[in-house]
Amino acid sequence: MSKLLVFNWKMNPATLEEAISLAKASDQENIVIAPPFVFIEEVAKVLKKARLGAQDVFWENPPAGGGAFTGEVSAQELKNLCVEYVIVGHSERRHKLGETDEIVAKKLKAATDTGLVPILCIGETEEEKNAGKREAVLERQLKTALSDLQLTTNNLQPFVAYEPVWAIGTGNPETPESALATIKFIKELLKNFRISDFGFRVSVLYGGSVNSQNLQDYIKYKEVDGALVGGASLQEEEIKKIIKLI
């Protein structure tokens, strides 16, 4: 399987012109681009090779797609805009906006029920890491998120993104060796949860201050199925260097 890179633009860039320029620079196979909601429709028009993603989804998903939920976006609305992938449970939403494991589980179910490929983010804070709770936190997050899924009816190949909270946007990434060990642990958890009974494997990405200088250090391992890239995906020179590595 080829390595997958997910470009999470977060609340960037500021203008549609910049978004289109970034999208064109990133339009390569094995790349998912997740722009802000306001740019999704226009970015979709310029993509020929890359896949379209979204940064979040609401858990209520009425049959018509809409509903009385101010400021939210449903899975069906995203599907109607040709979105294929959706990031669920990003650490910034968990720790800055208060999303609980239970909310993340509802969002994950809404995405999969609609046929969107989920990219489920899990990871520990620095306090949890220092307290030796990393594995317990990851197990809790995974177990809760997967508790209510009905994946047997959808031909989905879901992803988990391991993103240690303390490494995101800090320029202080997890070491490749430690990231590898954690990803192996996550894959063992998935085996224990019998995800393979659904007839597919869950791919696991690494995220957290990934850039062109360190990407190869992570994806060289067969167990690491790709990367979730933040700030580096907003710089066209970085994008060019990253693309050469996949």
Residue pLDDT, tens place only, 57-80 = 999 987 777 889 999 999 999 999
- Please report the pLDDT score of residue 154 as a whole number: 56
Residue with tokens 């009425």, as numbered in its chain:
62
Establish if 63 belongs to a structural domain.
Answer: no
Contacts of 130 (CB under 8 A, 6+ apart): none
| Local structure of 53: helix, strand or coil | strand
pTM of the model: 0.94
Low-confidence ranges of the chain (pLDDT < 70): 1, 150-155, 194-200
- Please report the pLDDT score of residue 165 as a whole number: 93
Backbone dihedral angles phi then psi of residue 59, each to the nearest 5 degrees: -85, -25
- Provide the annotated active-site residues: 90, 163
- In sequence order, the β-bridge partners of residue 5 are 31, 227
- Please report the pLDDT score of residue 193 as a whole number: 78
Print the domain residue range for 145: 4-57+83-243
Establish if 67 belongs to a structural domain.
Answer: no
Alpha-carbon distance values, 105 to 47, 101, 121, 189, 239 (Å): 30, 6, 11, 17, 32
Establish if 176 belongs to a structural domain.
Answer: yes
- Please report the pLDDT score of residue 196 as a whole number: 60
- Please report the pLDDT score of residue 153 as a whole number: 45
Establish if 65 belongs to a structural domain.
Answer: no
- In sequence order, the β-bridge partners of residue 53 are 85
- Please report the pLDDT score of residue 3 as a whole number: 95
Establish if 24 belongs to a structural domain.
Answer: yes
- In sequence order, the β-bridge partners of residue 68 are none
Residue 85 buriedness (CB in 10 A; 0-12 / 13-18 / 19+): buried
Establish if 173 belongs to a structural domain.
Answer: yes
Establish if 72 belongs to a structural domain.
Answer: no
Establish if 10 belongs to a structural domain.
Answer: yes
| CATH number of the structural domain spanning residue 223 | 3.20.20.70
Residue with tokens 């797609």, as numbered in its chain:
65
**pLDDT tens readout for residues 15-36:** 999 999 999 999 999 999 999 9
Residue 102, amino acid: E
- Please report the pLDDT score of residue 238 as a whole number: 98
How many domains are there within the chain?
1
Backbone dihedral angles phi then psi of residue 7, each to the nearest 5 degrees: -95, 105
The CA distance from 168 to 163, in Å, is 7
